Structure 1
Amino acid sequence: MRKLFLALAIASTGALAESHTGGLDGYEVGTPSPDLSNLEHVTQTLVTPPATPEHSLEPPAEARVVKMEMVIEEKEIEVEPGVFMWAFTFNGSVPGPMIVVHEGDYVELTLKNPSSNQLVHNIDFHAATGALGGGDLTVVAPGQETVLRFKAIKPGVFVYHCAPGGTMIPWHVVHGMNGAITVLPKEGLKDKDGNQLTYDKAFYIGEQDFYLPRDENGKYKRYATPAESYADDKKVMDGLIPTHVVFGESKGQLTGDNAMTSKVGETIMIYHSQSNRPSYPHLIGGHGEYVWERGNLADTPAQDLESWIIGAGSAGAAMYTFKQPGTYVYLSHNLIEALDLGAISQIRVDGEWNNDLMEQVVPPSPMSE
């Protein structure tokens, strides 16, 4: 079975790259590799979502080479108690980690596919230019690694995902193999009047839609290997009706004790991606004070939205300053998907209550006749 899947992936992507001197096979390199020796080389430590890596909103004086490593891991996850799925992950998390760079930086990724995995993988950066977003230059079979470098010339928030070719693409994507990269604009974030916008903390929500097969009795099936689930997975996928829509890898992952945290007066940025379907974020009790629905951070943001749209295969961003304490719910306002399928999270905010903004004038009491 493993050999069959390797063959399918290789056939759908073309032959595995034996060697690349830089460019795409079959095309003459017209512009040589730049001399980057004089640029600052920094290593970005990638972290598990909803956390984002340490970063500054101040643009660097000149472009840098920002280096990071991702290790592909195929592993079984528990989507809800007793319900299991083989996930294909970047760095072991669903979604993969957020990357943050500045416009003009060079992104240099080392991508590793350990021999313990079964499948061929690669990575397609929607932020990159050419070669299927790097997908053509990053095809790695189990036991291989590769290094991709691209120049981040387009500012914004962008999806990345595995794209090994053909029907393997949606199968890998809806098994968690996706993430996002933020390319901060050279001029920084600005409002409609040109004023600089900043935030104190950023969260990354990578929304997932899963399509898990059931047996004849309606019980979710469990598989010994990822390859064994493919045929059943595809039948459910092709019906276009997800069994789960979650923020992260499981129902309730970002609620209760695992809720995100903030405090009154703190400005947060929520980066939100959906690699396969639209989503409709809403912050209950708050607003999208500044919103870049399509992740176009160099443009003027929309202001004071109650809900917004993340397009399929894209990422967006919304900024808000908390004014009241309490537990806020951040969800997709397709309420069926949020409350029944799992597209919901919480942000626990500490601070003092402001009665000027809201108060209970009369508590509940028996109605007078």
Structure 2
Amino acid sequence: MKLTTQYVFLLIFSSLFFTTEVFAKPPSASRIEQELVPPPLLPQHDQNYKGQPRTIAVTLTIEEKEIEIDDGVYLQALTFNGSVPAPIIVATENDFVEVTLINPATNQMFHNIDFHAATGAMGGASITGINPGEKTILRFKATKPGVFVYHCAPGGRVTPFHVVAGMNGAILVLPRDGLRDAQNKKIDYDKAYYLGEQDFYLPKDDNGQFIRYANINEAMTPTIDLMQSLIPSHIVFNGRVGALTGNNALTAAVGEKVLFIHSQANRDSRPHIIGGHADLVWQGGSFSNQPLKDMETWFVPGGAAVAALYEFKQPGLYAYVNHNLIEAIQLGAAAHIQVSGSWNNELMQSVLPPTPIN
């Protein structure tokens, strides 16, 4: 495989760190092998952990594969564990997160990983670079409570290509003893969902049809050229138009408090629940800051994740959208939440059904 200048630089730079970081003795902490699950679900976790810091061990296997992002529309994707977005990792403040990163020999590309929750070495990117047929182990201390993006960052102009080809995810670092509301009172959630918003850039042929490429190397150059327009062909939640609608809609019940974790590794977004609100929003993703209250629409800066909590008050179908409605309706950035329970007429009722005007 021919290595670019950026790849060579990362490989040389990484050699300066291997003996001190990657192969350091493990901390004296209990070890949890966390089983990662495909989004929008979260792995099993304790949202009110008070004990000594642990080592949260996870495995991320890089998969270069074709995925269908809309009916008959295909993307040569780069993924962690096969999903877009990558699985969310859950830890508690001051836990050690140990990541085994595997790049199978069947892949074509050099990869690494950059954790926005980590401190030093380009978020781990400069010490995790691996070619096909290699693996590496990174361990970092999760010192900041909040929600954070992680993504591949191999260097140079191919870094955004890896990100928009699907190689990004999130990590939830809960505060010790759990979340606090705007009055600093303890608050728990009944459910949690992870929505990874993704912009895709699919070239078209002379007939206006999306091109289906044979492999990732064939797709890379035309995709990079198109990306420079900054105009996505698709903006979706969880890897596909309609991935979280219909039979795949999220579910909740009246009275349940649901924590929504929303990431966007590349572009700004404006989440909104049509028919609801966010009772609490940890703007910027930091749990160290007091959450904002009663937000109609909140903001996710590109390269960030944000957490919002809402207690559903009415049953029915809710739409969770990026409230740039062009992006939601025309490009695909929309999800549904099906909520069960009893209707409350005090909150809303039909006073006069549609009636002809005399």
Q: 1:22 aligns to what?
A: 20
The equivalences for 1:168-317 within 5 A come to 168-317=158-307
* Unaligned ranges ≥5, structure 1: 25-31
Q: 2:27 aligns to what?
A: 36
Alpha-carbon distance in 2 for matches of 1:78, 1:117: 19
The amino acid that maps onto 1:93 is S
Q: 1:29 aligns to what?
A: none
The amino acid that maps onto 1:20 is F
SS at match of 1:319: strand
Q: Report the Cα offset of residue 120 of structure 1.
A: 0.6
The amino acid that maps onto 1:293 is Q
TM-score by length of 1: 0.93
Q: 2:329 aligns to what?
A: 339
Alpha-carbon distance in 2 for matches of 1:275, 1:325: 32
Q: 1:357 aligns to what?
A: 347
SS at match of 2:212: coil
The amino acid that maps onto 1:11 is V
Question: Alignment partner for residue 13 of structure 1, among 5, 10, 14?
Answer: 10
Do 1:274 and 1:313's aligned partners in 2 also have CA atoms closer than 8 Å?
yes
Q: Report the Cα offset of residue 8 of structure 1.
A: 5.7
SS at match of 1:209: strand
Q: Report the Cα offset of residue 107 of structure 1.
A: 0.2
Do 1:9 and 1:120's aligned partners in 2 also have CA atoms closer than 8 Å?
no
Q: Report the Cα offset of residue 9 of structure 1.
A: 5.7
Do 2:13 and 2:126's aligned partners in 1 also have CA atoms closer than 8 Å?
no
Alpha-carbon distance in 2 for matches of 1:158, 1:256: 29
Q: Report the Cα offset of residue 209 of structure 1.
A: 0.3
Do 2:92 and 2:142's aligned partners in 1 also have CA atoms closer than 8 Å?
yes
Alpha-carbon distance in 2 for matches of 1:265, 1:335: 28
The amino acid that maps onto 1:347 is I
Are 1:328 and 2:318 matched, yes or no? yes
Q: 1:149 aligns to what?
A: 139
SS at match of 2:285: coil
Alpha-carbon distance in 1 for matches of 2:356, 2:350: 16
Task: Call closer, same or farther: CA 1:77–1:35 in 2, change over 3 Å.
Answer: closer
Alpha-carbon distance in 2 for matches of 1:145, 1:248: 26
Alpha-carbon distance in 1 for matches of 2:319, 2:26: 48
The amino acid that maps onto 2:330 is D
Question: Alignment partner for residue 166 of structure 1, among 156, 173, 177?
Answer: 156
1:119-176 per-residue CA deviation (whole Å, 9 max, x = no partner) reads 0111000000000000111111111111110000111100000000001100000000
Alpha-carbon distance in 2 for matches of 1:114, 1:66: 23
SS at match of 1:101: strand
Q: Percent identity?
A: 51
Alpha-carbon distance in 1 for matches of 2:177, 2:239: 35
Alpha-carbon distance in 1 for matches of 2:272, 2:9: 39
1:265-299 per-residue CA deviation (whole Å, 9 max, x = no partner) reads 11000000000000000001110110012101121
Do 2:47 and 2:177's aligned partners in 1 also have CA atoms closer than 8 Å?
no
Q: How many residues align?
A: 357
SS at match of 2:284: coil
Q: Report the Cα offset of residue 60 of structure 1.
A: 3.1
Which deviates more from structure 2 when the two are superposed, residues 359-368 or residues 346-355? 359-368
The amino acid that maps onto 1:36 is P
Do 1:122 and 1:163's aligned partners in 2 also have CA atoms closer than 8 Å?
yes
Do 1:16 and 1:139's aligned partners in 2 also have CA atoms closer than 8 Å?
no
User: What's the Cα RMSD here?
Assistant: 1.6
Alpha-carbon distance in 2 for matches of 1:192, 1:252: 34
Which deviates more from structure 2 when the two are superposed, residues 58-67 or residues 206-215? 58-67
